[in-house]
Every structure is written in C-alpha cells, then in structure tokens.
C-alpha cells in the first residue's frame, strides 16, 4: 500500500468516526457506516432544526445529476489557472452598460439619493455578474446547497480528492488537507444557506424551491446568496425580486453601502466590492468600468482616462 493511499484510508476512517460521534444512528436505524451522502446531509440539516416540510421539498426536487459538477466547481477552483484579464474595457461593453443606465435612470436616481454608491458602479457590477440577467445560471439552487452539504461525507471526499489529483497531476499532502478542510467548511456553509433559503420560502417567495442560479447557489441579476438576500435585498415592494432590474439595483446599492462603501474613500470601494466577490480581478474590472463611464460625462479637457478606438 502506498503512503498516499494509506493516508487516504486514515482520513476516510477519521470521517466515519466523526460522523458516528456527532450524529448517532441514522433515522432509518442503519449504522452510520452504511448511511449514504444524502442521509448525511439530512442529518446535518435536522441537527440545525430544518423544517421537515421544506426538507421534503428539497429532497423531492433534488438534482443528483448536478452533484459532481457542483462539488468540483465549489471545492477545486483553487487548483485551476485563470487567464490574465485585460485591464482595458471594450467599448461595446460600455455601450451596454450605458443603455442600462438610461433605461433605469429613475431607479438609479433613487438609489443614489438613498445610498452612497454611484450608478456607474452599480450598473457595471450587474453587467459583470450576469449581463443583466442573461447569464444568471441554470443550476437548481436548493440542489446545489444540498449537494455541497454532502461534501465532507467520506465517499464524496474521496471522489473530490481523485478529481483534485486529475487537475493538479499529483495529490500533495497540502492539497489533500486543503480539499478536506474546504469540504468540511463548505458543507457547513451550505447547510446554513439552505436554512436561509427556507426562510425565503416561508416568507412567501413562491419560487424559492425551484429557484435557479449559479453553481454556488447565488441567484438573480445581482447573484445574491439566500443569506445575502435576507440581510441586504431591497425592493419596491416588501419582497424584492432580484430578477428585475429596479430591485437588483437597490439591493446592490444597499449591500455595498452596508459593507463599507463611502463616497470619497477609494479603499472602502475596493473593500466593499471584495466583500461582494473575493476576486481582485473582479474588483478592478468593476472599478475600471465605473471610472470609464463617469469619465465620459466630463468635458474632454478634464477626462483622466486614455481612450483609443474600441477600448477604454
């Protein structure tokens, strides 16, 4: 037996003992060693007091066929190399954003009165996130969270480690430890997000159980997680609809202001956007687009950004 295979077995046995100690016997009376990954997730959710009726709806609508892809995308992104992003912004993108600004000008006026964030930044963020809803995702949100809640089950973890080895070429102790930790923390996180989705459902959003979004469970034009929706969504009515531009605009403005955006403090702008999405390329892209759009409104002699042809 190789050292890597031996350490894998030790890791799996450790997880089985962990499950047995934390959850006891399965509801069906089977020993934990024979409980499947879905039962493991169900036990985790029941331990948090999930409503049984809502849990039944999640299970009834569960898309198990999406599980492998959801786990791969949520757990192994750190192993994948990202292409360097062009710093400049193409004119055609700015044209789309400018059109969106004009179409929703009354909502942007309202947002700027109530919050500290410029309309150019809000509009740029919504473009980068989902192209104004055209790329909002086709994953079943409840299923994504239910799949991720299974991530630290031993057989699921073993499969994820195998995929990590395929991506990285070899499975170092450092990679193995990081995958195991991400699987554990993401599983806990997903269970909490399912509870937030339950709250949205109980508030009366009729589409909460059939909601579609990203592989990480974010939904709507603004790609809010359920917990973010509860904390920061704002709309024209009591129940914000993030698939509609006015509510998405107000919600993004509220989110960024609540997370530190201040009008004249540039570092606060970066920090608030980084809180929204922990990707520095994402942050820089939105700020660049916002600056380009704001600069265009100035007289030519006072513009700061160099422009040439199809780029800003």
Domains of the chain: 3-82+141-203 (no CATH), 91-137+207-301 (1.10.530.10)
Q: Name the CA dihedral angle for 248, 252, 253, 256, rounded to a multiple of 10 degrees.
A: 170
With 0-12 CB in 10 A as exposed, 13-18 as middle and 19+ as buried, what is 197? buried
Kindly report, residue by residue over 192-204, the tens digit of the pLDDT. Answer: 999 999 999 999 8
Instruction: List pLDDT tens digits, range 241-284.
Output: 999 999 999 999 999 999 999 999 999 999 999 999 999 999 99
On whether the CB atoms of residues 136 and 243 are closer than 8 A, the answer is yes
Kindly give, in sequence order, each residue whose CB lies less than 8 Å from that of residue 124, ignoring residues fewer than 6 positions away: 97, 285, 286, 289, 290, 293
Q: How far apart are CA 43 and CA 25, in angstroms?
A: 10
pLDDT band at 27 (very low <50, low <70, confident <90, very high): very low
pLDDT at residue 1 in the model: 47
State the chain's mean pLDDT as an integer.
89
Q: What does the block give as tokens for 183?
A: 């699987």
Beta pairing partners, 140: 212
């Amino acid at each position: 037996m190789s050292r890597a295979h031996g350490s894998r077995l030790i890791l799996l046995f450790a997880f089985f003992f962990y499950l047995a100690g934390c959850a006891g016997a399965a509801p069906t009376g089977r020993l934990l060693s024979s409980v499947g990954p879905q039962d493991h997730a169900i036990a985790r959710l029941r331990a948090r007091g999930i409503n049984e009726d809502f849990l039944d709806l999640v299970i009834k609508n569960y898309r198990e066929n999406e599980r492998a892809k959801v786990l791969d995308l949520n757990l192994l992104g750190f192993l994948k190399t990202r292409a360097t992003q062009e710093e400049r912004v193409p004119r055609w993108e700015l044209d789309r954003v400018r059109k969106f600004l004009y179409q929703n000008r009354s909502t942007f006026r309202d947002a700027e009165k109530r919050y500290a964030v410029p309309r150019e930044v809000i509009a740029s963020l919504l473009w980068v996130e989902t192209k104004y809803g055209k790329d909002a995702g086709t994953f079943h949100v409840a299923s994504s969270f239910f799949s991720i809640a299974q991530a630290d089950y031993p057989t699921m973890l073993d499969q994820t480690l195998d995929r990590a080895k395929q991506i990285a070429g070899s499975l170092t102790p450092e990679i193995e430890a990081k995958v195991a930790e991400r699987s554990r923390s993401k599983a806990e996180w997903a269970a909490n997000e399912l509870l937030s989705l339950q709250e949205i459902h109980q508030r009366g959003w009729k589409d909460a159980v059939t909601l579609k979004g990203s592989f990480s469970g974010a939904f709507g034009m603004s790609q809010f997680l359920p917990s973010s929706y509860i904390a920061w969504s704002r709309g024209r009515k009591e129940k914000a609809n993030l698939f509609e531009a006015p509510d998405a605009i107000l919600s993004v403005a509220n989110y960024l202001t609540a997370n530190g955006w201040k009008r004249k403090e540039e570092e606060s702008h970066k920090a608030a956007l980084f809180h929204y999405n922990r990707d520095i390329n994402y942050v820089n892209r939105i700020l660049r687009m916002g600056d380009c759009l704001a600069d265009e409104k100035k007289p030519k002699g006072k513009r700061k950004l160099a422009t040439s042809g199809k780029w800003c």
